Structure 1
């Protein structure tokens, strides 16, 4: 598996991954919350939040206050269900469009067991993983996505648990935003930390 150059992904920086992880765990976080949790400078946290917003990973809202004082900005993860970003919605639609075009060129690649909605979910998920620096291999029959070998297992070995959690949450949000029968079950267990196979399932 090859990975993209680090600078192109909003989650290539572990500091942004950590911020995203904390927002995924507890929504409606403020800059002050995140500064205290990460020990990063407030300006650094704001820069990371802007990048995550621009790439559709999180959403923001201004706090409603009934007392005096400047309203705070609250940040939550774009989970594709309760909250989604315009950027996330656009990416999902564009991925489905590109997937449809590809299948017209290569009609034999269309797996009969997957509905159009499910295929669009896979399209969105694959493009999200590519943007994150992976080179996913999809098995439509087994409903798996192989990301082996996982570069994070060695490069960010000390933070592997957080990275896996963040990537799984992102995949679940993309699947939810795309809409359809597929869900993300999780990652298949393996003795080798470099092995990474994501298992999907189809409702019904």
Structure 2
């Protein structure tokens, strides 16, 4: 049975993508600031942030001010699964599902290419991409994940910076929630007109440039369909 639009963890709505982009850009901001940046009414932004928190993408926390009254609430991206119970639940489910599928279908066991920790990292990343509707296809030899077709393709022309930046950061955050040797080298939008690619690597960084995950902010295509990448400006949250 096809999934409903709302089943993709709430990320098919541009308003929520804008809010999540604002949280990623400057963690620790209050609701009115985030609503203003996303161009939303405060009440609408509050509802969307509740959805994003329920889906394990953001975490809210009260900030002590030393004054009377209810302390203000700020929002941060979820970088560790133990920051958000729903993120932790989803992560445990993805790891359990991966182990179970390998027992049922030994052909899915990638131990010839990856150790147990790396397989669990792939389990978490694969589950995330599938849940947000990006249909991942993993090649263990090249350590590349191709996602096709892009469910957000219609938003790219006008809102590519928001859409690609949000998904690029989420991919990195999901991988980092599981201890293991894999890291993200690059996220390329539209290596074909309808597919994007995530390239992983195993082991420690060997190049200073790899200390940043380059997340595309203005995806475009040449006449041959090759992606032209605009490097993401490095920021503390990148």
TM-score w.r.t. length of structure 1: 0.90
Contact 2:129 2:135 in 1 (8 A): yes
* C-alpha distance in structure 2 between counterparts of 1:106 and 1:158, whole Å: 43
Would you say the 8 A contact 2:101–2:108 is kept in 1? no
**3-state SS, counterpart of residue 188 of structure 1:** strand
| Equivalent-residue separation in structure 2 for 1:141 and 1:4 (angstroms) | 31
Instruction: Name the SS of the counterpart of 1:178 in structure 2.
Output: coil
| Map of 1:161 onto structure 2 | 161
- SS of alignment partner, residue 196 of structure 1: strand
Q: C-alpha offsets along residues 130-164 of structure 1, whole Å, 9 cap, x if unaligned? A: 11112111111111111133232334421122111
Q: Conserved in 1, the CA contact under 8 Å of 2:98 and 2:120?
A: yes
Residue aligning to 1:107? 106
Structure 2 partner of 1:39: 39
Partner of 1:22: 22
Deviations along 1:36-71, one digit per CA (max 9) or x if unpaired, are 212211110010000001011000100111234431
Partners of 2:27 and 2:142 lie apart in 1 by 34
Q: Deviations over 1:7-40 (max 9, x none)?
A: 2121111100000011011001111111221221
What is the SS of the residue equivalent to 2:75?
A: strand
| Contact residue 113 and residue 141 of structure 1 kept, 8 A | yes
Displacement of 1:171: 1.1
Alignment match, 2:187: 187
Moved more, 157-166 or 23-32: 157-166
Q: Which residue is equivalent to 1:136?
A: 136
Change (3 A) 1:191 1:101: closer
CA gap of 1:131–1:191, structure 2 versus 1, over 3 A, is closer
Q: Contact 1:62 / 1:71 at 8 angstroms: preserved in 2? A: yes
Structure 2 alignment gaps of length 5 or more: 205-238
Work out whether residues 29 and 75 of structure 2, in 8 Å CA contact, stay in contact via their aligned partners in 1: yes
Q: What is the alpha-carbon distance in structure 2 between the residues aligned to residue 11 and residue 193 of structure 1?
A: 21
Which blocks of at least 5 consecutive residues in structure 1 are unaligned?
A: none
* Structure with more contact order per residue of length (Cα contacts < 8 Å, sep ≥ 6): 1
Does the C-alpha gap of structure 1 residues 88 and 189 become closer, same or farther in structure 2, counting only changes over 3 Å?
closer
Higher helix share: 1
Provide the C-alpha distance between the structure 1 equivalents of 2:100 and 2:148, rounded to a whole number of angstroms.
27
* Stretch deviating more after TM superposition (60-69 or 47-56): 60-69
- The answer for the alignment partner of 1:91 in structure 2 is 90
Contact 2:65 2:71 in 1 (8 A): yes
